[in-house]
């Protein structure tokens, strides 16, 4: 049913092949459905969008967006000419890809695993417990990371020592920073990430399973050939959306884990902007960097979406 449904989506059904106006009239209610969202995006997103121009201005709050003077690409040049520009770009990209490579598949696997066990006390508790870490604030999260990894008193370090392993300097060694950052993120968000897949898995057609069991397919095979394909559209869409945020590594957690020793691998675009903004409220500069990020992100998303469009049945447009 699924694959058929999607094919139908790609080629408009015969019934609706009349004139555009006729088709619009037929589905006039759908425009009503769009109205609230349309108004919302128009008012709260497109309305304020004139603010982007401050990336090319020297914004002074009291002069306003329109009253501030134009400076052209000055802020962009400053960013590109920074001593650290390439380091920042590399760190941001590598953390993003690392996170994607590790953090993206795990929720899928976990969701599939949840789906295999029957509804009961165990399932409920495991799900609730794995979902809980999502709510731990960044301050507490980083506080825990630092205390678990402290060479003098950290649990994890003492654990490794007990096993006779010489523990690395997790917090000081630049080589370990990204791993610490990504793994702790995975720990915190994998359970939360399963939710969307669990919802998607609820659409699995039981008749397909019954038929497959008749054919003698094993549980594993059914998971691979029935459950997984059901959630493939969701997986694809989420992957596309995630790549559209490739430069979007946030600053809060990194800032709290950053120190002079790991700086060379921990400094990313957002922490750089944060530091610069601290000195004085540099709206223009951070808007310029934000604009750069957006353009790269948008290009990424368009590219990946194009690939998805060619190779699979699902894409954003």
Partner 1 sequence: MVKSMRESTSDKLFLAANYLYLALALIVVLYPLIYIVSASISTPKFVNSGEMWLLPKGLTLDGYKLVFSNPKIWNGYGNTLLYTVVGTLLNLAVTLPAAYALSRSDFVGRNFFMAMFLVTMFFNGGLIPLYLTVKNLGLINSIGALILPVAASVWNIIVARTFFHSTIPKELQEAAHMDGCTNLRLFFQIVLPLSAPIIAVMALFYGVSHWNSYFPALIYLNDEMKYPLQMVLRQILVLQEMSAETTGAAISGDIAQAMNNKAEIASLVKYAVIIVSTLPIVALYPFLQRYFVQGVMIGSVKG
Partner 2 sequence: MQNKKKGAAVLLSAALVAGLLAGCGTSNDKAKEEAEVEVVVAKEGLPIVNEQISLTLTAPDVGIQNWKDMDVLKEMEKRTNIKMVFNNAPKESFDTKKNLIFSSGEYPDVFYAAGLTPAEQMNYGEQGILIPLEDLIENYAPNVKKVLEDNPEVRKSITAPDGHIYSLPVIEFNQPWYRNPMWYNGDFLKALGYDKLPETTEELYTYLKRVKEEDPNKNGAADEVPLSSVNLRDIRTWLLGAYGIYEEEIYVDDSDVVHYTPVEDGYKEYLIFLNRLWTEDLLDHETFSQTAEQKKAKAQNNQVALFSDWNAYMTLGGEPSMDDPMFLPVKSEKVDKAVIAKSKGVTTGAFAISKTNAYPEASMRWVDYIYGYEGAMLFNKGPEGVLWEYTDRDSLTKKYLPVPGGGDREDYRATLTPNYGIPAPTISIPEIQLGLTTEFDEWVMNESKTKLLDKGSRIPYPTLFLTAEEQAEVTTLTSDLTTYVRQMEAKFITGADTFDNWEKYVATVTKMGGDRMSEIYQAAYDRWKQS
List the interface residues with partner 2, window 226-265 (CB under 8 A).
Answer: 259-261, 263-264
Residues 6 or more apart whose Cβ sits within 8 Å of residue 89:
269
Residue 72 contact, options partner 2, partner 1, none, Cβ 5-8 Å cut-off depending on partner type: none
Q: How far is CA 311 from the centre of its chain?
A: 22
List the interface residues with partner 2, window 32-71 (CB under 8 A).
Answer: 35-36, 39-40, 43, 60-64
Structure-block tokens of residue 118: 């029957």
- By CB under 8 A, residue 118 contacts partner 1: yes
Q: Among 114, 181, 283, 292, which residue sits at the site for partner 2 (rule: CB under 8 A)?
A: 283
Q: Among 56, 181, 197, 272, which residue sits at the site for partner 2 (rule: CB under 8 A)?
A: 272
In eight-state DSSP terms, residue 172 is T
- By CB under 8 A, residue 129 contacts partner 1: yes
- By CB under 8 A, residue 230 contacts partner 1: yes
Is the CB of 126 or the CB of 174 nearer to partner 1?
Answer: 126
Task: Confirm if 58 and 281 have CB atoms less than 8 A apart.
Answer: no
Nearest of 140, 134, 238 to residue 196 by alpha carbon? 238
Helices 85-103 and 269-279, axial angle in degrees (round to 10): 130
Three-state secondary-structure class, residue 282: coil
Residue 210 contact, options partner 1, partner 2, none, Cβ 5-8 Å cut-off depending on partner type: partner 1
- By CB under 8 A, residue 213 contacts partner 1: yes
Closest approach, Cβ 260 to partner 2, in A, equals: 4
Q: What is the CA radius of gyration of the chain?
A: 25
Give the burial class of 265: count Cβ atoms within 10 A of its Cβ; 0-12 exposed, 13-18 middle, 19 or more buried: buried
Residue 69 sits at φ, ψ, to 5 deg, of -80, 150
- By CB under 8 A, residue 283 contacts partner 1: yes
Stretch that binds partner 1, among 164-172, 209-217, 249-257, 267-275 (CB under 8 A): 209-217
Residue 279 contact, options partner 2, partner 1, none, Cβ 5-8 Å cut-off depending on partner type: partner 2
Stretch that binds partner 2, among 108-116, 188-196, 269-277, 296-304 (CB under 8 A): 269-277
């Amino acid at each position: 049913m699924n694959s058929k449904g999607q094919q139908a989506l790609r080629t408009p059904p015969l019934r609706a092949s009349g004139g555009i106006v006729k088709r619009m009239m037929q589905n006039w209610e759908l425009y009503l459905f769009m109205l609230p969202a349309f108004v919302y995006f128009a008012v709260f997103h497109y309305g304020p969008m004139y603010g982007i121009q401050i990336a090319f201005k020297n914004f002074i709050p009291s002069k306003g967006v329109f009253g501030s003077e134009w400076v052209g690409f000055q802020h962009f040049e400053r960013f590109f000419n920074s001593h650290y520009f390439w380091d920042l770009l590399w760190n941001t990209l590598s953390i993003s890809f690392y996170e994607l490579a590790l953090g993206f598949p795990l929720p899928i696997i976990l969701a599939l695993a949840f789906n295999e066990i029957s509804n009961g006390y165990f399932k409920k508790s495991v799900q609730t417990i794995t979902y809980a870490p999502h709510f731990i604030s960044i301050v507490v999260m980083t506080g825990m990371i630092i205390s678990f990894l402290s060479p003098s008193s950290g649990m994890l370090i003492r654990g490794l020592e007990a096993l006779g392993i010489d523990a690395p300097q997790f917090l000081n060694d630049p080589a370990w920073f990204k791993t610490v950052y990504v793994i702790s993120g995975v720990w915190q968000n994998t359970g939360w990430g399963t939710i969307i897949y669990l919802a998607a898995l609820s659409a699995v057609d039981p008749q397909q399973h019954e038929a497959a069991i008749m054919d003698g397919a094993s549980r594993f095979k059914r998971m691979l050939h029935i459950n997984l394909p059901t959630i493939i559209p969701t997986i694809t869409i989420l992957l596309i959306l995630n790549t559209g945020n490739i430069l979007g590594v946030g600053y809060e957690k990194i800032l709290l884990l950053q120190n002079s020793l790991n700086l060379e691998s921990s400094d990313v675009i957002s922490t750089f902007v944060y530091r610069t903004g601290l000195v004085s409220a540099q709206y223009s500069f951070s808007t310029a960097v934000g604009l750069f990020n957006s353009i790269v992100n948008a290009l990424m998303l368009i590219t990946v979406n194009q690939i998805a469009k060619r190779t699979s049945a699902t894409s954003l447009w």
